[in-house]
Amino acid sequence: MTLTSRVRRFALTVHITVSVGWIGAVVAFLVLVLAAMTTQDAGTLHGAWVAMALTGWFAIVPLAIASLMTGLVMSLGTRWGLFRHYWTLLSFVLTVGATAILLGNMQTVSLFAVKAGSDGADVADLRGGLPGELLHAGAGLVVLLVIQVLNVYKPPGMTRYGRRMQRLHPDAGER
């Protein structure tokens, strides 16, 4: 499948938008975690957990899935391919991994948000979940930035499959 120039540019625009949005949403999540970790106010702590769940489910998760889907379209519809270059393959694997970890972690965030929203929630218990969220969001941000660098710099290096396809179809890279 080869995308036309117009469709490729549109797909690239959407991919960049959702990918950068994913990074921004993770930064917002980190701000909520840090606010919750540094506050002495129980109401702010409770509100931060609820806001983290909302940010996660309604911004981060949809942007992650959209980034994964548009990345697949870009890799399969352009000369880069999904399995031809190490950087595209690594970018895909990191995106799938980050999305899977995100989906698993959002279960925990949801549990804490439900606790935070209930009457008489234990403040110490709510604080106890914050270091894990700092780790998840911080590591997630690093992974997303690594993916971004890979996609901008496109380090050289073809996979064995890519070299074989280049030998079999020398004109295929000209799309």
Report the distance separating Cα 102 and Cα 109, nearest Å. Answer: 10
Report the distance separating Cα 42 and Cα 44, nearest Å. Answer: 5
Task: Compute CA 60 distance to the chain's CA centroid, rounded to the nearest angstrom.
Answer: 7
According to DSSP, residue 118 is labeled S
3-state SS string for 69-114:
HHHHHHHHCCCCCCCCEHHHHHHHHHHHHHHHHHHHHHHHHHHHHH
The token pair at 31 is 């701000």
Tell me the per-residue pLDDT of 117-174, one tens digit each, with 9 for 90 and over: 998 889 999 999 999 999 999 999 999 999 999 999 999 999 999 999 889 888 765 4
Tell me the per-residue pLDDT of 29-65, one tens digit each, with 9 for 90 and over: 999 999 999 999 999 999 999 999 999 999 999 999 9
Residue 175 has pLDDT above 60, yes or no: no
One-letter amino acid identity for 167? R
Looking at residue 173, what is its pLDDT? Answer: 54
Q: How confident is the model at residue 12 (pLDDT cuts 50, 70, 90)?
A: very high
CA-only gyration radius of the chain, Å: 20
Residue 70 has pLDDT above 90, yes or no: yes
Report the distance separating Cα 157 and Cα 148, nearest Å. Answer: 17
Looking at residue 174, what is its pLDDT? Answer: 43
Reference 42, options 101, 130, 134, 126; nearest CA is 126
Tell me the per-residue pLDDT of 77-114, one tens digit each, with 9 for 90 and over: 988 889 999 999 999 999 999 999 999 999 999 999 99
Asked if residue 150 lies in contact with residue 90, where contact means CB atoms within 8 angstroms, the answer is yes
Q: How confident is the model at residue 13 (pLDDT cuts 50, 70, 90)?
A: very high
Q: What are phi and psi of 39, to 5 degrees?
A: -85, 150
Q: Where are the domains of the chain?
A: 5-170
